[in-house]
Structure 1
């Protein structure tokens, strides 16, 4: 069996000290295989967003380990940590985080600027991502002038330009009407199935979670359920490899 793309072992995360200490995660352990679609679900304050932030290396656990393709992420610091996040992960957030008065293309190519990709290649890959999301005709528009659904598609295009192995989506349809949300869901799951991108979605939406291969339920910082709603008798799910090649953690 191939090594999991993410392996989580007894991860704990606490904030504050003494009487003010709050344990957001209390000993969470699981593996995620490459190509899985995984929903992390739980009520507000359950620890699901904290878990996503630690998985995405945006925050460090207080104790325990997170391995990215066999590499202990505690060994990733400084520039190596930043490069790993930039090259390995794509992010889709509910709040969009677009620069309002910059063009759609300028927003989409930002991760490549951070990665040091040349101008011509940035434009080529940025336009290709916009084409894939049916937004090429909006490339020169200011982001502020997009509809909610167009903004979320621009965010997905931005997540794709560095060819990520994993996409983290935090309530990706939370600010969208049901029809537009369904379109965005279809795009994300299409990328998962057709390109082999591992999809990790944080949500409280049971219908969205049911579309995933697997659901992890967090309650009071504890993993209380790890199930596969679409294949309840299976203990493992084979992961597609798509366009992604051998494991790589940025050096």
Structure 2
């Protein structure tokens, strides 16, 4: 079945709001945002700093809760889940790639990549096997024993992608994934992400202010002052 005609989106948001602070310090980060993301899409959420784009991604990724509104993940309403079930859903379906690498510099590449599996209670032998498998996929197997602190920026970002993939996620969230990289290295990282989308069918949702990067996505969603200003659904052939 064509993924564009599938009835249940992998993510659906209805009238999301999010406010920080009170009184004169109140800031309305989101003011009623609704959108759907179909399984296997590549979607860029585009906006300037302070537009609400990262807040929106954090809500969609179940890393934060909205003030009002609903989020459905593959047909399941997140608001109805206990904290334990919510965490399990997030850990089983989502992977995360951030501009800051959030690697433990004193741990090996293998240990950093295997961390989500350790948190999930996977045994040491299986953790090692799956971590090595994804490192091989990203051409990093030869760095498995290296300390994360000794890697280049591009290598660190590939390790972050490997860590995001080790749980076989259906959705990969990336927040300014090339923001700390030079142009050439950033392009390599972009290509890896788009290959995962095209070849493996992983849904790719990226937050960026980079319009050149956004043009590579199937769909662009523009946000300003906490509101969607329009969406661009020019799909690649």
After TM superposition, is the score higher than 0.5? yes
Q: 1:87 aligns with which of 71, 76, 92?
A: 92
2:30 is matched with: 25
What does 1:108-127 align with in structure 2 at a 5 Å threshold? 108-127=113-132
Question: What is residue 249 of structure 1 aligned with on the other side?
Answer: none
Whole-angstrom CA distance in 1 between matches of 2:82 and 2:188: 37
Matches of residues 177-196 of structure 1 in structure 2 within 5 Å?
Answer: 177-196=182-201
**SS where residue 106 of structure 1 aligns?**
helix
Alpha-carbon displacement from aligned partner over 1:118-144 (angstroms, at most 9, x marks no partner)? 111100000000000000000000000
Match of 1:63 among 65, 68, 83: 68
| Deviation, structure 1 residue 84 | 1.2
Q: Please tell me the root mean square deviation across aligned C-alpha atoms, in Å.
A: 1.1
Hey, which bits of structure 1, 4+ residues long, moved more than 4 A? none
* Corresponding position: 1:213 with 2:218: yes
Q: What is the CA-CA distance between 1:39 and the residue it aligns to?
A: 0.2
The structural deviation recorded for 1:17 is 2.0
Q: Distance in 1 between matches of 2:99 and 2:106?
A: 19
User: What residue is the counterpart of 2:83 in the other structure?
Assistant: 78
* Deviation at residue 86 of structure 1 after TM alignment: 1.1
SS in 2 for 1:29: strand
2:163 is aligned to 158
Query: Residues 210 and 229 of structure 1 are in contact (CA less than 8 Å); yes or no, is this contact kept in structure 2?
Result: no
Q: Tell me by how many angstroms 1:16 deviates.
A: 1.6
Q: Distance in 1 between matches of 2:117 and 2:7?
A: 30
Q: CA offset at residue 75 of structure 1?
A: 1.5
Cα shift at 1:230: 4.1
Distance 2:233 2:57 in 1: 19
Task: Show structure 1 runs of 5+ residues with no match.
Answer: 232-236, 238-251
TM-score normalised per structure 2: 0.96
Shift of 1:83: 1.2
- String of CA shifts for 1:136-189, please: whole Å, max 9, x gaps: 000000000000000000000000000001000000000001111000000000
Paired position in structure 1 for 2:202: 197
TM-score by length of 1: 0.90
Provide the rounded CA distance (Å) in 2 between the counterparts of 1:129 and 1:198. 18
Cα deviation, 1:93-128, whole Å, max 9, x if unaligned, reads: 011100001000000000101111111110000000
